[in-house]
Amino acid sequence: MKKEFPRFILGLAAAFIVPLLLLIVVPYLQLSSVESVKYAETDEVDNAWAYPSVWTGANKDGEKIYASLGCAYCHTQMIRPTYAGADMWRKGWGGNEADGLARETQPEDYNNDQHAMLGYMRIGQDLANIGTRHTDRAWYHLKLYNARTQNVDSNMPSYKLLYRKQPLGIKSENALKLEGRFAVEEGYEVIPTEKAEALVDYLLSRKMDAKLPGQEKQEEVAEVSTAK
Ligand code: HEC
């Protein structure tokens, strides 16, 4: 009994000291040496960050539709750091490789998003840079209408509710080119609703590969340290 009391006090002290070290002292030491990066003047608009600057059409509505249809249950929007996963090895996931822009996702990438759709699981591919990988609207419409139009084994659900079948008058420009078993009967066509267009606008805007202010500096540091 006598011995147990000091042990209890010691255990109690350790229970407080270890988290204090790991959650406060270690991060403080790590982060206190980080230098702040000044944004170049050209990156600022009205004294605010202009990054990310890529915006197309109705993608705010698209974001809500993406959320309401539960796309995030199967798709993430985050390219993990290489130590945490092999995302950067997958072609096009990190963004535009040809122009040397591909990179891991950074917190600034979500500046324009009302909600960061980080995602829950990866049953389908990561969509952080889907706007760089695919630029053709018709491709997106076919995928959403029925993913099996492009990939026979796809287990992505069909989002036909975003499309309207109507009697063929003058053929609409944006009518889906449905072939084979997906073709609709003679005299009808399938066109995207406004919701489908907004969702595609949103997907086209997913480009988390823009060069970040300060990125050159990091690259220089990386080059110098690998050259040594
Ligand atoms: C049940 C899981 C599931 C849900 C929910 C889902 N998807 Fe998918 N998605 C997949 C799978 C699996 C694939 C890969 C197979 C394929 O290409 O069809 C995929 C592929 C894709 C691709 C092509 C990615 C690429 O790199 O080629 C896009 C774009 C996409 N999904 C968008 C969406 C959107 C937008 C929604 C919501 C409206 C959605 N998905 C909902 C499972 C899902």
CA of 159 to the centre of ligand 1 (A): 10
pTM metric for this prediction: 0.80
CA of 124 to the centre of ligand 1 (A): 5
Residue with the smallest CA separation from ligand 1 atom 39 is 71
Ligand 1 touching residue 74 (CB < 6 A): yes
**Residue-wise pLDDT tens digits, 67-109:** 999 999 999 999 999 999 999 999 999 999 988 889 999 888 8
pLDDT at residue 103 in the model: 92
The whole-chain average pLDDT of the chain stands at 86
pLDDT at residue 228 in the model: 47
CA of 114 to the centre of ligand 1 (A): 21
Ligand 1 touching residue 103 (CB < 6 A): no
Topology (CATH) of 57-211: Cytochrome Bc1 Complex; Chain D, domain 2 (1.10.760)
The domain segmentation of the chain, as residue ranges, is 57-211
> What is the mean pLDDT of each successive set of 10 residues along the chain, which is 228 residues long?
87 97 93 74 55 60 93 95 92 90 88 84 95 95 95 95 91 89 92 95 89 65 55
Please state, in angstroms and rounded to a whole number, the distance separating the CA atoms of residues 37 and 43.
Answer: 12
